[in-house]
Chain A
Amino acid sequence: MRAYTEKIREAAKRLLSEKRVDAVIGFRKGSIPLVNEPVLVKSPERADELYWDGSCGVNLANYLPKRTDRVAIVAKGCDSRNIVVQIVENQIQRDQVYVLGAPCHGMLDRRRILASLKGREPTSVEEVDGQVRITGAGFEETFSRSECLQENCSICIHRNPVISDEMLGEPVAEQENVDRYPDVAKVEGMNPDERKDYFEEITSKCIRCYACRNACPQCYCPTCFVDESRPQWMGKTIDPKDVRTFHFLRAFHLAGRCTDCGACERACPVGIKLRQYTKKLEKDVKEFYGYEAGVRLDERPPLDVYRPGDPENFIK
């Protein structure tokens, strides 16, 4: 995927010097292994800062809502879906965005890799031929790339951008026959008490930093319900009541909008499995309405429209 770096730089130089766009949103190489920094490049002279590898997991669509300029944006499959959701929700206009589509083989899971290193610190990471070679002080480890992916990437069925103005590479093969919801099915099989305990345990480490919310390209409300202060809707402590309320409300607000890009889990500093909430809603929306968020520009989200013939067999 490093091959995209040169193409991104070339496209950025061209689009900026031809004044097709005012800025390019991409990544520059991070200051530490396994995380790159989102960057806004406004001049062709700075296009060579742009960079691409398997540590570009951050969903760049998060930087689009409410922009007023014309921007090019590097978009993986998931980012492109979030751009579609934002266009459908009128957060950005289609003609403002020039999508540089990045067919994706999945992004590396920094947390998973660090855990498998058992406290040893990586100093460099190389991706070669489906393998990830990690070196640090006095060690070198090679993993198969598939063992290093973010969990949402390993079950991704939209690796190719769903919209693009220019592709950075040939489309990649989509994964087929993926069982996306074995974990959700397990929770569905629990009795209410077990289910409650399961979710209480998941969020027991929450520190209410809102990294999950702020990393989410779909969390763009001018004032989040958590920040409403006149009147205040909910408590801000780490008491389980407050934590639970926050996570359930946030998740429900993403029903039919979440693309399972994994931004929330990637951002969480304490490792909460936030997708356990949103995946259930994603599954329900798919089953009840046959809808996948961010796949088509010409379809309204199911929770945004009323049709007399809407399925209601799940209403009990």
Chain B
Amino acid sequence: MTEMYIPKEKLAGVVEDLIGRQRVYGPVFDGAYHNFEEIKSAGALDLAYSNTRLSAKGLFHPHSERMFEYSLASGDPEAGVLKETEKDYSPRVVLGMRPCDARALKIMDRNFNSPQYGDPWWVKRIEATTIVGLACNAPCGTCFCTTAGSGPFDDSGLDAMLVDLGEGYLARAVTDKGSALLSQISKGSAAPADAAQKADALRRSAEAAIGLQFDVGSITGKDSMELFNSPIWEEIQFACINCGTCTFLCPTCWCFDIQDETHGEHGDRIRIWDSCMFPLFTLHGSGHNPRQNKAQRVRQRFMHKLRYYPEKYGDGIACTGCGRCVRACPVNIDIRNVARLMSSSACVRPA
């Protein structure tokens, strides 16, 4: 099954059927904003949303994750031996993920699932998950996915994609996993003849609404040291309060810390989100800190996203243009403005 049409009145039934077969996650409104949560009943799923407050990365790379446990009991022959904490890798489906967040998972793969190294928890969670995206018909004013190499209808990180056609969803499989999922859905019908045309018109209007916010090529083509030493950082960094909001809300910020916590004779090794905005992030055991001031940390974040990552991997920037950092920064540091300052070109086509 590669394509079907799901009338909106049948969506709840489709979701209930899915819940019976696997774990189901999707955007849930908590009274103030949406976040991904496990859907226990179809009514909790709310696809009439712009995007979740926190990105989808937490579904695969949780904020705090117990990796191993160990005993410290004297006399325990296994004292100090790390034992992997059991996790749930049963099949699950994530419904309604936006294309930018799904594309971000591909960027995260650079770190967690490279040809050299595979992070077992990340890899197994990705394998266990079928991602059904929801194309963006009405992007926010803070969105710049098309600039960042993604787009409101980008299906590159998805297994299947839903397009909201008004009365119902056009569901299209992107991968075999997505196709297998669609074949489980009995409540769909054949897509109406004009569905593809309608979807394409929605895509074009959404892309046009976003425009081009900055020129990636003119940043990646610039000399690294020239950018590193540029006076722009002094200007950009002033307002920054060095909180971790941008990094924690970012769908592609993958950095973490590993800590051992002991409670009496029991120990846990825990992986916790960390942020390059925090001084402790780079503090050496010697007491030396290579990024001891705010300007260095601010520079690092933007240089990593917009200059170092493209230089290292050659497949675009480490940003999908979801706009969360723009919306949530308490002091209005806007990555689009930063990128324009970093860029040598004024090539911008506003929406």
Contact = CB atoms under 8 A, between A and B. Distances in A.
Interface of A: 30-32, 35-40, 58, 62-63, 111, 115, 119, 121, 123, 205, 207-211, 213-215, 227, 229, 232, 235-239, 266-267, 269-271
B280 A35 contact: no
Contact of A121 (B140, B279, B337): B140
B63 A210 contact: no
B328 interface: yes
Contacts of A32: 141-142, 326-327, 332, 334
A119 B50 contact: yes
Contacts of A205: 30
Contacts of A36: 332
Interface string B55-85: 0000000011000000000000000000000
Given A209-B244, A209-B248, A271-B32, A38 B53 contact: no
Contact of B141 (A121, A232, A267, A269): A121
B331 A38 contact: yes
13 contacts: A32-B141, A32-B326, A58-B330, A119-B48, A208-B273, A209-B245, A211-B330, A213-B243, A214-B242, A214-B243, A227-B280, A229-B280, A267-B241
Contacts, number: 107
Interface in B269-295: 270, 272-273, 275, 278-280, 283
A236 B141 CA distance: 34
A213 B243 CA distance: 8
A31 B239 contact: no
B128 to A, nearest CB: 23
Given A58-B331, A271-B32, A215 B50 contact: no
A32 B333 CA distance: 10
A60 to B, nearest CB: 10
A207 B248 contact: yes
Interface of B: 30, 32-33, 48-50, 53-54, 63-64, 140-142, 238-239, 241-245, 247-249, 257, 259, 261, 270, 272-273, 275, 278-280, 283, 326-334, 336-337
B241 A62 contact: yes
A62 to B, nearest CB: 7
A123 B278 CA distance: 33
Contacts of B327: 32
A171 B212 CA distance: 45
Contacts of B142: 32
Given A38-B331, A121-B141, A209-B244, A269 B280 contact: no
B238 A31 contact: no
B336 A31 contact: yes
A237 B65 CA distance: 8
Nearest to A230: B285
Contact of B272 (A63, A236, A266): A236
B49 A119 contact: yes
Tell me the interface secondary structure of chain B in the complex. Answer: loop
A38 B257 contact: no
B141 A115 contact: no
Given A31-B326, A31-B336, A227-B279, A238 B64 contact: yes
A269 B249 contact: yes
Give 3 nearest A-B pairs by CB, closest first.
A237-B64, A267-B330, A211-B243
A215 B272 contact: no
Contacts of B245: 209, 211, 267, 269
Contacts of A39: 238-239
B243 A267 contact: yes
A116 to B, nearest CB: 12
B211 to A, nearest CB: 14
Given A211-B244, A229-B283, A237-B64, A271 B332 contact: no
**Which interface residue of A30, A31, A123 has the most chain B CB atoms within 10 A?**
A31
A266 B332 contact: no
A215 B241 contact: yes
A115 B334 CA distance: 22
B208 to A, nearest CB: 13
Given A32-B332, A121-B140, A215-B330, A115 B32 contact: yes
Nearest to B54: A207
A239 B64 contact: yes
Contact of B332 (A30, A40, A115, A236): A30
A267 B246 CA distance: 11
Given A31-B336, A58-B330, A238-B63, A40 B238 contact: yes
B63 A37 contact: no
A62 B238 CA distance: 11
Contacts of B278: 210, 227
B330 A237 contact: no
Given A32-B142, A32-B332, A214 B53 contact: no
Contacts of B283: 229
Contacts of B328: 269
A267 B279 CA distance: 19
Contacts of B247: 209
A271 B182 CA distance: 37
Contacts of B243: 209-211, 213-215, 267
A31 B334 contact: yes
B244 A236 contact: no
A38 B280 contact: no
B48 to A, nearest CB: 8
